[in-house]
Amino acid sequence: MTTILHSEIFILTLTFIAYFLAQSIQRKTKMLFLNPVLIAIILIIGFLTVFKIDFESYKAGSRMIEFLLKPAIVALGVPLYQQLGKIKKQAIPIIISQLVGCIAGVVSVVLIAKFMGAPKEIIFSIAPKSVTTPIAMEVSKTLGGIPPLTASVVILFGILGSIFGYEIMKISRIKSSIAQGISMGTAAHVLGASKSMEISGNFGALSSIGLIINGVLTALLAPYIISFLSLWIEF
């Protein structure tokens, strides 16, 4: 029995079933706070705790899911290509908004963490919070952060963004579909894009644009932003 519980096939099955159940719960209740990813995480943690399956065993069993994360990010180039005409027409506003979003995202979280007394390892770990997990973990590793912590923070911010993102924009009276879609991808990465896809394929494609461009800019600029901030702040 123990061997089965620790097998890769069982771990993969557990993960897929947990997410399927989480989606079903969200669809039936339609409650804003019952995010499928959040519910799936709770279900999996509960199962692992009850059956005393340690994290290392779960991580080893779910390595295929982790492996598929990077090809999944590359696959987002498809909707990006489909929206190429719209991107060309709005190229300058999109690039400028993404540049501002990238800088603001990194600088704000670094300053808040520093103000609250976080050590530099924690600060460097959460600096790339707004980009998708594979990119964020690589950026964190480059900066000297803790990649597993980075992954947790990225998921947390993605969940918060997917839950509250469109509600905040509604309160802020942001009505442009381009602004809404790109903002969700920029701030909440894949989970924001997934939420946008539930609204329409157009919103999902726009979120993918924000996700991809912000991911590239953060990967390129985060080390330089941190270096610049280190001139004024002691980490």
* Virtual torsion, Cα 43, 49, 53, 55, nearest 10 deg: 80
**Extents of the domains making up the chain:** 2-61, 79-230
- Give residue 26's pLDDT: 82
3-state secondary structure 82-136: HCHHHHHHCHHHHHHHHHHHHHHHHHHHHHHHHHCCCCHHHHHHHCCCCCCHHHH
Per-residue pLDDT tens for 35-61?
A: 888 888 899 999 888 888 887 888 887
- This prediction has a pTM of 0.75
* Burial (0-12, 13-18, 19+ Cβ within 10 Å), 101: buried
Percent of the chain topping pLDDT 90: 11
pLDDT, greater one: 154 or 76: 154
Six token digits for residue 34: 């019952």
202: pLDDT strictly greater than 80: no
Task: Give, rounded to a whole angstrom, the gap between the first and last alpha carbons of the chain.
Answer: 49
1: pLDDT strictly greater than 60: no
C-alpha–C-alpha distance, residues 235 and 98, integer Å: 26
Q: What is the pLDDT of the chain when averaged over all its residues?
A: 84
Is the backbone of residue 153 left (phi > 0), alpha (psi -120 to 50) or beta? alpha
Q: Which residue's entry shows tokens 């996700």?
A: 211
Per-residue pLDDT tens for 146-175?
A: 988 898 888 888 888 888 888 888 898 888
